[in-house]
Amino acid sequence: MEQSVAAGSMNRPSGSSMADAPAPSAEWIDLTLNVNGHERAVRARSHHTLLEVLRREVGLVDTREGCGIGMCGACTVLVDGRIVSGCLVLAPQAEGRDIVTVEGIVGDNGELHPVQDAFIEHTGFQCSYCTPGFVLATKALLDENPQPDREDAKAYLAGNLCRCGSYVKILDAVMDARERANSDASLNGGAQVGRLATEGNLKATSGNGARAPDAG
Amino acid sequence: VLRYHGGVYSGRTINPVQAELQTEGNVAFGLGQALYEEMLFDNGQLQNGNLGDYMIASIEDMPADLTVNVLEHPEANEIHGIGETSLPPVMPAIANAVYRATGVRIRDLPLTAEKVLRGLQEKGQGASPERDLEEAVA
């Protein structure tokens, strides 16, 4: 199978401009990706991963490549509110989906997401290469289960690797993020309708737009 | 590994949080080396050169009870390098715990279940760490 592909690529017309892609389909595809609430028109080949397109075409480089085989979680992105490894999703597969990267969870005025605040407060990182993945995984965990205990968090975050071994403080940060997210939710949720009109609450509501697909 | 306590002498600590992170990180790193990480070669070719086959410690492998001490001398003004200084003791500490629990002394990492089983078979049925200790003392 691989040999036939290789033979096919050798027979390709020599006018091809891209040197990096000995792929059976060398054609560029026009895609419209919904990234962090904005429609982004990008061009990709059929074998380009969502990670590559986010970094190269969209320019959101906080989503990082670690292992490239879906083991380390550094490329974690939210697709329709669920965590996926950006290196395992082909860019065309993500068309029409709601993609959220770590750049997209900050508020409209640049205020940090409670999970980010918690990671900073507890210094849940050393080199911070894994941090965007951990932040998004923690956000997804809290969206799914607002009251995780330490064991729940450990099981959920086992797919994110940190080679610095900052796991202890990461776990502290996750537990703190749980408290922060819940106190925010009690302010912004339906329970205290009277407070919804304040500016801060409106911001937080729009910042959490990615949760909408989970509601169903 | 259920419980681990790490300590390192720093002289005078410059960045306490980073010092703690480094010491905790060494436990994660050493735990991976002690229990999982092994580069496997076949005819000079690395066989497990990716994170799917070369297992490193994840957040699930961390000891439930992990404490570290960064020790300072109250009058010390010199600054000691920390970081990897607390990494080397992790592997022998775990190997000693395995010996204490099973009586099997393993001298090549990682400490796999297979090596423990082979060690038990070599020692025969009557082996126990208590008896070994008694023999060592005698």
- Do the bridges between strand B65-72 and strand B3-11 make them parallel or antiparallel, or are there none, so unpaired? parallel
As a whole number, mean pLDDT of residues B18-35 equals 92
Q: Give me the pLDDT at residue B81, please.
A: 86
- Find the CB nearest A170 among B29, B51, B59: B59
Which of A129, A161, A169, A172 to mutate to probe the B interface, most B CBs <10 Å?
A: A161
Residue with tokens 């939210």: A78
As a whole number, mean pLDDT of residues B66-77 equals 86
Q: Integer distance in angstroms from the first to the last C-alpha of chain A?
A: 42
Q: Average per-residue pLDDT in chain A?
A: 79
Instruction: Give residue B79's pLDDT band: very low, low, confident or very high (50, 70, 90).
Output: confident
- Cβ–Cβ under 8 Å, residues A201 and A187: yes
As a whole number, mean pLDDT of residues A119-130 equals 93
Q: What is the 3-state secondary structure (H, E, C) of A73-139?
A: CCCEEEECCEEEEHHHCEHHHHCCCEEECHHHHCCCCCCCCHHHHHHHHCCCCCCCCCHHHHHHHHH
Q: Average per-residue pLDDT in chain B?
A: 87
Contact flag B51-A161 (C-beta cutoff 8 Å): yes
CA–CA distance, B31 with B5 (Å, rounded to integer): 12
Higher per-residue confidence, A13 vs A209 = A13
Counting every residue, how long is chain A?
216
pLDDT digits (tens, 9 = 90+) for A157-176: 999 999 999 999 999 999 99
- Measured CA to CA in angstroms, residue A40 lies from A43, A59, A97, A167, A203 at distances of 10, 11, 12, 35, 23
CA–CA distance, B62 with A120 (Å, rounded to integer): 21
The answer to whether residue B56 scores a pLDDT higher than 90 is yes
Question: Which among A209, A66, A182, A60 is positioned nearest to A115, based on CA atoms?
Answer: A182
As a whole number, mean pLDDT of residues A62-83 equals 93
Share of chain A above pLDDT 90, in %: 66
Greatest mean pLDDT range, A118-127, A206-215, B69-78, B127-136? A118-127
Instruction: Give residue A116's pLDDT band: very low, low, confident or very high (50, 70, 90).
Output: very high
Q: Give me the pLDDT at residue A74, please.
A: 94
- Cβ–Cβ under 8 Å, residues A78 and A99: yes
CA–CA distance, B132 with B120 (Å, rounded to integer): 13
As a whole number, mean pLDDT of residues A144-161 equals 93
Find chain B residues with C-beta within 8 A of A169's C-beta.
20-21, 24
CA–CA distance, A169 with A13 (Å, rounded to integer): 54
Structure tokens at A107: 């508020």
The answer to whether residue B68 scores a pLDDT higher than 70 is yes
Q: Give me the pLDDT at residue B37, please.
A: 94
pLDDT digits (tens, 9 = 90+) for A6-47: 443 444 444 444 455 555 556 899 999 999 999 999 999 989
Find chain B residues with C-beta within 8 A of A71's C-beta.
50-52
The answer to whether residue A192 scores a pLDDT higher than 50 is no
Burial (CB < 10 A; 0-12, 13-18, 19+), residue B135, is exposed
Q: Which residue of A has its CA nearest to B49?
A: A67
- Do the bridges between strand B65-72 and strand A98-100 make them parallel or antiparallel, or are there none, so unpaired? unpaired
- Measured CA to CA in angstroms, residue B113 lies from A85, A187, B61, B68 at distances of 31, 51, 16, 28
Nearest Cα of chain B lies from the Cα of A9 at a distance, in angstroms, of: 27
Residue with tokens 């086959």: B53
- Cβ–Cβ under 8 Å, residues B29 and B59: no
Q: Give me the pLDDT at residue A100, please.
A: 95
Higher per-residue confidence, A216 vs A188 = A188
The answer to whether residue A53 scores a pLDDT higher than 90 is yes
Share of chain B above pLDDT 90, in %: 52
Higher per-residue confidence, A27 vs B124 = A27
Structure tokens at A39: 């429609």
CB within 8 A of A89, min separation 6: which ones?
Answer: A49, A50, A51, A79
- Cβ–Cβ under 8 Å, residues B56 and A197: no
